[in-house]
Structures are given as C-alpha cells and as structure tokens.
Amino acid sequence: MALMRTITGPSDLKRLSRRQVDQLAAEIRDYLITSVSRTGGHLGPNLGVVELTIALHRVFDSPRDTILFDTGHIGYVHKLLTGRHDFSTLRQEGGLSGYPSRAESDHDVVENSHASTSLSWAIGIASGRKLRGETGRHTVAVIGDGALTGGMVWEALNNIAEHRDLPLIIVINDNERSYAATRGGMADYLASLRATPEYESVLSWGKRQLNRTPVVGRQVYDTLHGMKKGLKDIVSPQGMFEDLGLKYLGPVDGHDVEAMETALRRAHDFGGVVLVHALTEKGHGYDPATADEADRFHAVGKINPETGLPLELSGRSWTDEFSDELVRLGKEREDIVAITAAMLIPVGLQPFAERFPERVFDVGIAEQHAVTMAAGLSYAGLHPVVCVYATFLNRAFDQLLMDCALHRQGVTFVLDRAGVTGTDGASHNGMWDLTLLGMVPGVRVAAPRDGQQVARALREAVTVEDAPTVVRFPKGSVGAPVEAVRTVGTVDVLREPERGPAGDLSALDPVDLLVVGIGSMAATALEVADKLQAEGRSVMVVDPRWVLPVSDDLVELARGARTVAVVEDSVVGGVAGQVRQRLDDEGLTVPVHGYGVPAQFLDHGSRAQVLDRIGLTADSVATSLSGRLASSLTGRPA
C-alpha cells in the first residue's frame, strides 16, 4: 500500500503518472478487500467505483468542487483519497462512518444515505452558488442506475432541464444493480444505452489491440471512445436525456481511468449540465463478489478475504421468521401479494418471489409509489404486503396517511430493521416509525417480541381488510421465544408480581409497577423486573402485542398499578405517549414513564453500544425507575 499511503488529499492524485494511477487502483482494491473483510461493510459497491472515483478527484478540485454520492455507501474510495486511511474500526463506535460524514471531512457533504436525493442537492448547491456570484465551482452528483428508479430523481431532472447553464455534472454509475438487479423501464433504457452488440464488439476489439500492442492499441481505443458522432450516436439511443436538453457523454468504461478522465474533462469544460454515463461492475476485481449470488457482497459481515465466505455464522433472523410465514400464507391465500422497493433479498421476499413470481412487485427505489400502488392493489381485491426497512417508511408517510389510511385500504406493512440498527448510523436507525404511526388514524401496529410472535402477528395482520396494519421487528438474530404466563384479552402477561399469604401482595392490592415491553424490548423489560423485584418491588411485565392503538385490556391492567413504564426502541413518546394519552382520556392519574430513543441523530456503533450510550438498557432503566418509585409511590391510583 506504499503509493496509497502517500495520498493525503485529491491534490496528490494529480501528480501521478498513468502507471501510478493503475497501481493506486490496484492498491485501493486490495486494501478494501482486506480491511472490509475484517470489519464488514459495503464491499461490492465500492470495488465497482475505484477507477471512477480516482478519475473524479483527478479532474475536479474537491472540496472547492462538490462531489455528492448517491447513495453514500459507495464513499469508501472517496474516504481513502481524501486522507482517511484507517479502516480498522470502520462502522464501529469511534471509527469511520460507513457513509460520508461532515464530522470527518470537508470533502463530505450528503450523509443521509437515502437514495435518489443527490440531484436535488446538486441543483440546490449549484443554484445557490450562482446566486451568490461564486464562479468556477462545479457540482458533481454520482448516482447509481438503481437510484434512477426513485421519483425524486425525475423531479430534479425536470427542474435541472430548466437550468442547463449550471456547472453541474451528473455521473451515472451504471452497474445494472441497486441491491440486486435493477428492474423497470429505466433499467431497460439504460441497457439500450450500454450499447448495441456492434458498439460493444468494436470496443472489445480496441481493448484486444491495446493488450497486444499497447501504444497502437491505446491510440485505437482512445479514438473509438472519442468517436461520439461517428460510432456511439449511430448505435446507442441516448435521446431521452438529450430531449431534456441535457448533454450526454458515454457510455464510458468506468474501470478505465483514462477514458473516465477524458469524459469528465469534457464535461468539466462544457460550461453547463452534462450527464456522463459510466459502465461499471459491482465487485469488480474480486472474483467472489462477481460470481453467482454476488449480491450478498453488497454488504458483508466479517469474511475470509480469500474465499469470500463468512467467518461468523449468524443464527436465524427476524427476517427469516417473516419470510417463512409469508410463503405459508401465500400458499393458503391467492390474494396475498408482496411489494418491495429494490430490497427483495434483504427484506426476505426472495423465497416468496421464487414460489409466486407473478405476485411480487419490485418497483425500484420508489417507496412513495410502492405504498400508493399497494392501495390500488387493495382496492382491486388483493391484500398487499409492503416490505421495507423501517427507516424507509419515513419516505412514504404521506402515502400511508392519505392513500392507505384515509381510504381504509387493507394493506400490511412489514418494517424490517426497526429500532436501533447501529453500524449504518443515523440515517438507518428505524427509530421514527412508532411516533409517526401514532398519528395515523385507524392504523394497527404489532411489535412481535420473538420469532413465534412475528408469524402470529403477520397472520393476524393480513386478516384486516378495512385499515392498514404494520408489523415491525429489529435487525439481527432472533432469540428464544419469550413465553407468556397468561393472557388478558389481547395482552400477554410475561411476569406476574409475587402474591401470597406471608405478607406479600394480595390479589386486590395494586402492583408497584406495570412494565410494558414493546416488541424486542420485552426481554429488557423482564430484566428490569428482575432488578426491581430484588429490591422488594411488586412488578408485572406485559407485552401488548398490538401496540397501537392502545387496547382496552392494557388500560384495565394499568388500573391495577401505581406506576406504568413503557420500554420501546423508538423515539420517546411513541407508544409511551399514546399510553399516557389513553389513560388520561380514561380519567386515570397513573404516572407513565417512557424509556426509548432520544430524538437525536445517533452516531454509528453496535446496537448494544448505542443502547448503552442512550441509557436504554436494563440497568439504566431499572436505576431510573427505582428512584422514581421511591419518591412517587404514595397510594392507589385513581
């Protein structure tokens, strides 16, 4: 890594010879394979943009020129070229973020990592600089072909077409994939732009000449790349972009630094909006990442760099529990269909798609469209199951509210990665859903506490045909089932207070504390009970299962408690706020203490580290409640 270590910033790249550039690309690729295999991270996407990112930084002058990555998980090479060489704690607490981070570098701008936003950022930045009279600064948006399926891109392009004089360059990183293969009309259109067989065969011939006779071959290859009107325009239809008035360059081999630099310099010098179409290969240069089923290298855990095989075998996941039950339901009910937004594999829909391919809709990175389409499917007599990460439901809140809830459509939402997810940082924590859902009239929300309850909740959710339903669960491996000791209506009682003849609590006495464990936090609630019972407190632990709206059964249990605590892995005020409001509506003066995630953007770290940092652990909650109980237990609640 001798050459890579000398690169402390983009200016160092500009002094490199062509041979050194190729050496640097090889060093970076080797470093990514070695380092990410130790920490986990987005390996495949970054291997695909090594040469492209080097070319960007050799042509443009970051941070004076602004380079935006859509999405930010392709920013590892950018980090290395801007002087961040220590990947030993990538995505770990105190280490480098897995996405661009303003706290790390002035070279980083957009860190939210939700796809399809870069063009809106770009026209905003470029227009703002124009209004401020700042000249000579370019804005570059690097956007994957998968992100082009998002609606915001087309809203932005429509706007950009009105401002074609802006120094704005759009680089399409076209690898035919988002998480998995990109689908839809845009994917088909880009496929036509990738070149007809005639264009591809001529370029392949040029590359062969380059390998045989480097000097003559390079001249031939460069000439072919430069023959825009003589070759590419004849065989490649780029009309849609040019019909918008956007200058189009390409397709360009994204793994040929020299070809990329040539195209980017032409775009730089053009003096207006230019779209550069770069062809790349996800996982390029690493055989395991380009083999069959290579999409598992989109994001990896710790792996053997030689084989690409995982070093740590994870157990059965929450997603597995959902996936298996959906297939079972699909066999029983022909009206059940599934929708995903370019996340077929990670949300567990692939088995359902293999069994019922005609009943799965992958709409691309288009959550808003997915939700309203689901409303339409419901109206047509089907029961759609919309599967997204909890963080991405934020993007379709209006459609959930106005298209599904207002119209009382029977649509089931399955929110994977709910709560604190940890290593992907602030934008990927699924911590907003319960607070947002609490504002939606008629919605019914289940938070399963274990794998068995995932199946049970899903089965109950798809029976509801007059309102949207939601089933949410966290990331990772699912633990052992948490058994209920009894059931009160819809509420499972997980721990009873000790009652008996020896001066303990009688059947008529109120319990000191009713702990409501929401979803996976039920296990934490039980630990809290252990600690408080050891202090002599009488504690009942319950799981309401269907957490919104607050059930009558939970209200009745609260009548028999002096204090109520709600433990949830959502923003404070989610379920706790709804419980507090419901008890107030019933005229109960029982104090309700909420323990959840603070309304803050949380830095990356493991889930356990983040929970400890925010005080959402059994020790922290028990200590807080112990103090509150000591000062507030004064009598029976009203």
Would the annotation count 534 as a binding residue?
A: no
Encode pLDDT of 409-434 as tens digits. Answer: 999 999 999 999 988 888 889 999 99
The arithmetic mean of pLDDT across residues 449-465, rounded, is 97
318-472 maps to CATH 3.40.50.970? yes
Helix (H, G, I), strand (E, B) or coil at 397: helix
Residue 308 has a pLDDT of 78
Which two structure tokens, joined as six digits, stand for 218? 């390079």
Encode pLDDT of 116-131 as tens digits. Answer: 999 999 999 999 999 9
Q: Is the pLDDT of residue 637 over 80?
A: no
Q: State which fold the 490-632 domain adopts.
A: Rossmann fold (3.40.50)
The arithmetic mean of pLDDT across residues 314-319, rounded, is 88
Would the annotation count 113 as a binding residue?
A: yes
Encode pLDDT of 92-102 as tens digits. Answer: 999 999 899 99
- For residue 92, give Cα distances in angstroms to 41, 395, 424, 570, 607: 10, 27, 9, 22, 10
Distance, in Å, from the CA atom of 347 to the CA atom of 341, rounded to the nearest integer, reads: 10
Would the annotation count 323 as a binding residue?
A: no
Residue 301 has a pLDDT of 80
Residue 183 has a pLDDT of 62
Higher pLDDT, 176 or 577: 577
pLDDT category at 633 given cuts 50, 70, 90 is low
Helix H segments across 8-105?
A: 10-13, 18-39, 43-47, 50-59, 76-81
Residue 197 has a pLDDT of 44
pLDDT category at 172 given cuts 50, 70, 90 is very high
The arithmetic mean of pLDDT across residues 625-638, rounded, is 69
The arithmetic mean of pLDDT across residues 155-170, rounded, is 94
Q: Is the pLDDT of residue 219 over 80?
A: no
Q: How far is CA 19 from the centre of its chain?
A: 38
Distance, in Å, from the CA atom of 496 to the CA atom of 484, rounded to the nearest integer, reads: 10
pLDDT category at 636 given cuts 50, 70, 90 is very low
Which two structure tokens, joined as six digits, stand for 131? 């209004």
Encode pLDDT of 137-152 as tens digits. Answer: 999 999 988 888 888 9
CA dihedral 513, 514, 515, 516 (to 10 degrees): -160
pTM: 0.85
Higher pLDDT, 475 or 220: 475
Asked if residues 380 and 387 have their Cβ atoms less than 8 Å apart, the reply is: no
Residue 290 has a pLDDT of 83
Would the annotation count 367 as a binding residue?
A: yes
* Domain 4-194+236-297 CATH superfamily: Thiamin diphosphate (ThDP)-binding fold, Pyr/PP domains (3.40.50.970)
Catalytic positions, please? 282, 367, 395
Provide the 10 A C-beta neighbour count for residue 98. 26
Encode pLDDT of 561-619 as tens digits. Answer: 999 999 999 997 899 999 999 999 999 999 999 999 999 999 998 899 999 999 999 99
Residue 451 has a pLDDT of 95
Which two structure tokens, joined as six digits, stand for 99? 């996405």
Q: Is the pLDDT of residue 234 over 50?
A: no
Peptide bond preceding 549 in cis form (omega within 30 of 0): yes
Residue 184 has a pLDDT of 65
Would the annotation count 314 as a binding residue?
A: no
Distance, in Å, from the CA atom of 397 to the CA atom of 207, rounded to the nearest integer, reads: 49
Residue 206 has a pLDDT of 54
Distance, in Å, from the CA atom of 322 to the CA atom of 78, rounded to the nearest integer, reads: 37
What's the length of the chain? 638
Half-sphere exposure of 30 (CA within 13 A, CB side): 10
Which two structure tokens, joined as six digits, stand for 40? 């986990």
Would the annotation count 381 as a binding residue?
A: no
Asked if residues 328 and 458 have their Cβ atoms less than 8 Å apart, the reply is: no
Least confident of 24-33, 131-140, 236-245: 236-245
Mean pLDDT of the chain: 88
The arithmetic mean of pLDDT across residues 23-46, rounded, is 92
Higher pLDDT, 403 or 222: 403
Residue 507 has a pLDDT of 55
**CATH 3.40.50.970 residue window(s) in the chain:** 4-194+236-297, 318-472
Q: Is the pLDDT of residue 200 over 60?
A: no
Helix (H, G, I), strand (E, B) or coil at 318: helix
> For tokens 């237990």, what's the residue?
633
Q: Is the pLDDT of residue 228 over 90?
A: no
Encode pLDDT of 346-388 as tens digits. Answer: 999 999 999 999 999 999 989 999 999 999 999 999 999 999 9
28 contacts: CB under 8 Å, gap ≥ 6? 4, 50, 54, 77, 80
Would the annotation count 199 as a binding residue?
A: no
3-class secondary structure per residue, 555-594: HHHHHCEEEEEEEEEEECCCHHHHHHHHHHHCCCCCCEEE
Helix (H, G, I), strand (E, B) or coil at 513: strand
- The beta strand positions in 374-419, using DSSP E, are 383-389, 412-416
Residue 530 has a pLDDT of 96
Would the annotation count 115 as a binding residue?
A: yes
Residue 422 has a pLDDT of 84
Higher pLDDT, 240 or 397: 397
Question: Is beta strand 336-340 parallel, antiparallel or unpaired with respect to 360-362?
Answer: parallel
Helix (H, G, I), strand (E, B) or coil at 540: strand
Residue 475 has a pLDDT of 92
Encode pLDDT of 45-70 as tens digits. Answer: 999 999 999 999 999 999 999 999 99
467 contacts: CB under 8 Å, gap ≥ 6? 405, 408, 409, 410, 442, 443, 444
Instruction: Report the Cα–Cα distance between both ends of the chain, in Å, rounded.
Output: 71
Residue 353 has a pLDDT of 97
Residue 196 has a pLDDT of 47
The arithmetic mean of pLDDT across residues 458-470, rounded, is 98
Half-sphere exposure of 409 (CA within 13 A, CB side): 28
Q: Pick the closest to residue 305 from 115, 36, 565, 101 (CA basis).
A: 36
Question: Is beta strand 412-416 parallel, antiparallel or unpaired with respect to 469-472?
Answer: parallel
Q: Specify the amino acid at residue 136.
A: G
Encode pLDDT of 252-306 as tens digits. Answer: 999 999 999 999 999 999 999 999 999 998 888 888 888 755 566 777 788 788 7
Residue 175 has a pLDDT of 84
Give residue 357's region: left, alpha or beta (phi > 0; psi -120 to 50): alpha
